[in-house]
Structure 1
Amino acid sequence: MSDPLQPRATPRPALRGSPNHALFGATIGFFIGFGAVSLFGPTAHSFVRVMHLSPEQVGFLVAIPMLTGSLLRIPFGAWVDTTGGKLPFLILLVLSVIGIGGLYYMLLTLYPTHLGQQHYPLLLLFGALGGCGIATFSVGIGQVSYWFPKRNQGWALAAYAGFGNTSPGLVALILPLLIVFIGLWGAYLVSLGIVVAGIAAYLVLGHNAPFFQLRHEGLSREGAAAEAAACGQELFPQASALRALREAAAEWRTWALVLLYFTTFGGFLALTAWFPIYWQSFFRTTHWTAVILTAGFSLLSSLIRVPGGAWADRFGGEAVAALALLVLLAGALIMTLSGSFALSVSGELLVGAGMGVTNAAVFRLVPNYVPHAVGGAAGWVGGLGALGGFAVPPLLGHFVGTMGAAGYARGFLVYVVLAVASLALTGVLRLGPRRADPTMNPKAALSR
């Protein structure tokens, strides 16, 4: 009787794509999805001015894309374990472009004289849809992970997240210039065209890993796993998205990684929103100076993820995370105590570098600690961790409200506390017992 795990005697179906092609396609898709949400900022300001929204309405309006984009990372990240990623990726990108397109339509047809409070629910709906682009992150993490061997996970995931994360910084620099030269409607139309082109590029380049392609061709899970393993695939998924979430949730290290990511990526999102206020209010900089400093922080924190992932591959995710968190802690202490503009800029750079490298190290550890449910773990870590961008700004604002102008600096105590707690947690991860890795044996992985 033949072993069902042996490759078929019939010719193997031609597999589409390669690890590097899949990485390039997923990065383009995430870049477009994350950047599309950044288009909402200038538009939201235009709506606020003509609709006379209350502060509470403004706060919810600005938060809604981040909220939906964060929470959707959980189910869509887990869905990768059943489909391979391309379908959920495309659904999120299409929902995002519908939201951004709806906002553009409101600008084109109602702005500025016909907009009123009665349009606020519609504005929230389009903002929520636009936020779906943020959720592509966890989908791409799973999609890329299944293509690459474990020894290259850190570099691959860091390249994906690092280059994809640059889009908010680039949009913050380029979109205001477009608005100056061709107006709000023209800039928005150009941006929308770029988003649609990016979706088309992902459609062509965003191939699923071999296991999922072979499953689509009709092979059994066991047969597809055997042939995919022969092609070099090392990580294999759960049969159910819900099971992937449950398996990931049952692993305590998943929740440790969530808290680390809350500090560094959630903290990154919070500071991209807070820094323009901080620089203009605390140091009285010009608008463009604040924009450049914030964009520099965003780009540094994003791009340093790429070498950070390679360092995590070489030296280990825990060691690299610990060193990066020390850098973050040093930067946060400088910004807490400093009243000097130059010193605070250096603190900002240290915070950005520490956050970016830690982010890379965290997702280097996901396939190490939760190899049996990478998609589910990516959903939990990416989704709940990103909620830091929703939770931290009110804490920073509380310091200002209670301490006045000095609170802009003292608010960075939040990051001091988070960095210290994350360092302690990294030590626990390093010293904790390790579980056996079932994914190096496809039969064991698929029998779970």
Structure 2
Amino acid sequence: MNSPITSAPVTEERTSTAAAPSTPDLQPGGTPAAASTTPPGLSFRRGRVIDGWNPEDAEQWARGGKDIAARNLRWSIFAEFLGFVIWQLWSIVVVSLPRGGFTFDTGQIFWLISMPSLVGATLRFPYTFMVPKFGGRNWTMISAGLLLIPSIALAVCVSNPGTPFGVMLFVAALAGFGGGNFASSMANITYFYPQSQKGWALGLNAAGGNLGASVAQFVVPIVITIGAAATLNLPLAGWIWVPLILVAVFGAYKRMDNLSSAKGDVKASLAAVREPHLWVLAFLYIGTFGSFIGFASVFPKLIADTFPTFSTFGVGSASLSLAFLGALVGSLVRPLGGRLADRFGGSVITMIAFVVMGAGALVVILTLPLGNFWLFLVAFLVLFAASGAGNGSTYRMIPTVFALRAGAKDSGAGSDVSTQRKAAAALGIISAVGAYGGFAIPQLLSLSKTSFGTYTNGLGWFVMAYAVMLAVTGFFYLKKRGGVRI
């Protein structure tokens, strides 16, 4: 598929704001509009391609650029939301597999939980480069459409208790399509917003996506049990998302745009990979986002194993799991972390997040012997809230670090196109590395459970990891650089 961004000559199709007043501008869909409504410096081409985009241009931003960015952000959030839904479906479905007639051991269950994260994290690497190749709007349509495969495949395989584990594991791996969406979505949105608002915009985009994990864990137990009496309707866990996926594809087609400035830059991408700070930030992101997605994946299983009587609550003829609260809290706090990072610096907020995450994990360890579910729940929600804030603040640090490393001295540093492309590549790569935490945490907790008979050891390992990450953040980023707090 050829991208409209990289298509050859466009002179005859383009209508620029510099054209004669008698020539009407084209809106992103190719429809005429009054020249006065076109943001200064912008021109539009068929295929919803925008030329001349510069969010650092205050006049362009105020006279329509902000509205264009907001429209793209809204549909990006919705598509990414569904990506997280599909990515996290197995985290809640596995808890119901025994009642559905499936007989998998603890190790196999944890593989079904962690496999989507492994594949999703790996897909984030190529997904990072899809926006420059296909265009943000076009790739959103494609990546959202791919979600139909894992949702339908899940519905089919869980309908038969005789489905072999290998087939189930393969279908769980397909859910990784949803995890890959994050990288391309975040890379796309970073082009739309000025440097001073990237933290808030990226935080909203990520939070909207992260909410998908919570919604999946809230909706699925209700849908598969409502009116089912003593049986389950497990296939509905996949089928219910199909109509929404189709809406996301159509919405991206009608309302999103491609930016010609969002071009692939192999040199910048390679430069990002060679940048030592990319790997330092990726390490920190494993601690924040990796903890969020990893604990979100295993939380339903942890509750079912540790407090089985609190695993589900009856609501009429349906069942409700409180596991959704963890992902919900983490998602809602994420944009706050980005906003606080905009004001106080990402390094400060990230360090506070690691302190609170370590404290939360310690309280969980102390709570387990007491057998008090509500203390366990509150402690975990504190951990989720801290990881959510850390997600936003760590992600906000990335464009700032790359701007400063490029020699920038002020908040407008991100206006340099090559720096933006390098930062966009870094955002995707770091999000990919961080997502491997979603695989590592379930596997380490599985090892702790099968080797020691308890989850306490695994939680202790995480406390030590947070202490190391706290020290790394302070060592590299706590001091101001060029008058800017990272």
Q: 2:240 corresponds to which letter in structure 1?
A: V
| Residue in structure 1 matched with residue 440 of structure 2 by the alignment | 391
Match of 1:336 among 365, 390, 396: 365
Q: How does 1:54-93 map to 2 (within 5 A)?
A: 58-93=109-144
| Contact 1:332-1:413 at 8 Å conserved across structures | yes
Quick one: distance in 2 between partners of 1:59 and 1:283? Answer: 18
Quick one: distance in 2 between partners of 1:379 and 1:326? Answer: 26
Quick one: distance in 2 between partners of 1:124 and 1:284? Answer: 25
Q: Secondary structure at the match of 1:112?
A: coil
CA change 1:81–1:363 in 2 (3 A) is farther
CA change 1:55–1:430 in 2 (3 A) is closer
Q: How does 1:6-405 map to 2 (within 5 A)?
A: 9-10=18-19, 13-14=43-44, 18-41=68-91, 58-106=109-157, 111-112=159-160, 115-117=162-164, 123-181=168-226, 183-186=233-236, 188-209=238-259, 211-212=261-262, 239-240=265-266, 243-288=267-312, 292-338=321-367, 339-340=369-370, 341=372, 342-371=374-403, 372=419, 373-404=422-453
CA drift at 1:138: 0.9
Pick the structure with more strand per residue. Answer: 2
Quick one: distance in 1 between partners of 2:97 and 2:306? Answer: 27
Q: Identity, % of aligned pairs?
A: 26
| Contact 1:100-1:127 at 8 Å conserved across structures | no
Quick one: distance in 1 between partners of 2:321 and 2:102? Answer: 29
CA drift at 1:387: 0.6
Structure 1 residues 170-206: Cα deviation after superposition (integer angstroms, max 9, x where no partner): 1111122112236344554332222222232233333
Structure 1 residues 40-78: Cα deviation after superposition (integer angstroms, max 9, x where no partner): 456667778667566665554443322211101012113
| Contact 1:337-1:410 at 8 Å conserved across structures | no
CA drift at 1:294: 2.1
| Residue in structure 2 matched with residue 444 of structure 1 by the alignment | none
| Contact 1:104-1:188 at 8 Å conserved across structures | yes
| Contact 1:24-1:205 at 8 Å conserved across structures | no
Q: Secondary structure at the match of 1:159?
A: helix
Quick one: distance in 2 between partners of 1:396 and 1:125? Answer: 22
Quick one: distance in 1 between partners of 2:74 and 2:376? Answer: 36
Pick the structure with more helix per residue. Answer: 1
| Residue in structure 2 matched with residue 3 of structure 1 by the alignment | none
CA change 1:13–1:55 in 2 (3 A) is same
Quick one: distance in 2 between partners of 1:308 and 1:181? Answer: 37
| Contact 1:22-1:208 at 8 Å conserved across structures | no
| Contact 1:36-1:195 at 8 Å conserved across structures | no
Quick one: distance in 2 between partners of 1:210 and 1:175? Answer: 40
Structure 1 residues 306-348: Cα deviation after superposition (integer angstroms, max 9, x where no partner): 1211111111111111122221122122112234424333321
| Residue in structure 2 matched with residue 220 of structure 1 by the alignment | none
| Contact 2:156-2:235 at 8 Å conserved across structures | no
- What RMSD over aligned residues (CA atoms) do the two structures have, in Å? 3.1
| Contact 2:208-2:331 at 8 Å conserved across structures | yes
Match of 2:463 among 390, 399, 416: 416
CA change 1:122–1:203 in 2 (3 A) is farther
Q: Which stretch shows the higher mean deviation, 125-134 or 143-152? A: 125-134
| Residue in structure 2 matched with residue 440 of structure 1 by the alignment | none
Q: 1:149 corresponds to which letter in structure 2?
A: P
Structure 1 residues 276-321: Cα deviation after superposition (integer angstroms, max 9, x where no partner): 3333333443221696442111100111011211111111111111
Quick one: distance in 2 between partners of 1:36 and 1:360? Answer: 22
| Contact 2:361-2:462 at 8 Å conserved across structures | yes
| Contact 2:449-2:455 at 8 Å conserved across structures | yes
CA drift at 1:374: 2.3
Q: 2:400 corresponds to which letter in structure 1?
A: N
CA drift at 1:149: 0.5
CA change 1:309–1:380 in 2 (3 A) is same
Q: Which stretch shows the higher mean deviation, 416-425 or 13-22? A: 13-22
Quick one: distance in 2 between partners of 1:432 and 1:345? Answer: 36
Q: 2:362 corresponds to which letter in structure 1?
A: L
Quick one: distance in 2 between partners of 1:45 and 1:345? Answer: 18
CA change 1:123–1:245 in 2 (3 A) is farther
Q: 1:24 corresponds to which letter in structure 2?
A: R
| Contact 2:356-2:382 at 8 Å conserved across structures | yes
CA change 1:94–1:378 in 2 (3 A) is same
Q: TM-score, length-normalised on structure 1? A: 0.79
Structure 1 spans left out of the alignment, 5+ residues: 1-6, 213-236, 438-448
Q: Secondary structure at the match of 1:285?
A: helix
Structure 1 residues 132-166: Cα deviation after superposition (integer angstroms, max 9, x where no partner): 11111011111111100011111111111112101
Q: Secondary structure at the match of 2:246?
A: helix
CA drift at 1:410: 4.1
CA change 1:279–1:53 in 2 (3 A) is closer
